[in-house]
Amino acid sequence: MNNITNDNNDNDDIEENGEEQWKELSDACLNCKKCGLCKTRTNIVFGKGSRSAKIMFIGEAPGESEDREGLPFVGRAGKLLDKYMYNFDFNLENVYIANILKCRPPNNRDPDESEQDSCIGYLRLQTKLLKPKIIVCLGRISAMRIIKPDFKITSEHGKWYKKGEIYMTAVYHPSALLRDPAKKADALLDFRSVREKAAELGLL
């Protein structure tokens, strides 16, 4: 399984914070037909936030509102995420937010493995351009793809992992918090831990 920290691809020529490379990458996503989701998407959802941020949040896939607006986390789950962000001084000037998939799976079903395989290269390139020091996976699907395939969100949320130079953790997906508000106490602790790690690394 590919994940975003694999280095065996052909993009060694990326320049630091290169505007041109960001543009090439978003153009490649705009024109992407690697999987069937290109037929049902309204917009690709590339990412939002600061391209010089050192903290990256990675969700699963766009939902209906995101597909309509072309931006990640703008629907109900996004509004809840905004509250956690605000509470811990994260904002679109100090974080970057993207998803495993750039296109919406119909009816918000889980992204399947082949769709993830088709799309993960774009996220890998975004990560190479951004060079985050911290990656926060939003939910199980993202954690299984980015941290480890057998990640168990209920027992492993809030734990820290280090891959190369990047610290990684996972928090409950905001949609899971909407479905089960009892998880919100854990989410607060996990966001606090992200805030502390960011402070420890001098990122905030």
47 binds ligand URA (CB under 6 A): no
Is 132 near ligand URA (CB under 6 A)? no
The CA distance from 194 to 70, in Å, is 27
Q: Burial letters for 135-166: b for 16+ Cβ neighbours within 10 Å, e otherwise?
A: bbbbbbbbbbbbbeeebebeebbbeebeeeeb
Q: Does 99 bind ligand URA (CB under 6 A)?
A: yes
134 contacts ligand URA (rule: CB under 6 A): no
Total number of residues that touch ligand URA (CB under 6 A): 13
| 81 exposure class (CB count in 10 Å sphere: 0-12, 13-18, 19+) | buried
Structural element, H or E, at residue 135: strand 134-138
Nearer to ligand URA, 49 or 62 (CB): 62
> 22, 29, 56, 72: which one contacts ligand URA (CB under 6 A)?
72
Please state, in angstroms and rounded to a whole number, the distance separating the CA atoms of residues 57 and 41.
22
The H or E element containing residue 194 is helix 184-200
Minimum CB separation of residue 29 from ligand URA in Å reads: 14
How long, in residues, is the chain? 204
Determine, following the binding rule CB under 6 A, whether residue 59 of this chain makes contact with ligand URA: yes
| Residue 129 in the binding site for ligand URA (CB under 6 A) | no
Question: Does 63 interact with ligand URA (rule: CB under 6 A)?
Answer: yes
* Piece in contact with ligand URA (CB under 6 A), picked from 67-75, 119-127, 149-157, 196-204: 67-75
Q: In this chain, which of 25, 37, 60, 96 binds ligand URA, going by CB under 6 A?
A: 60
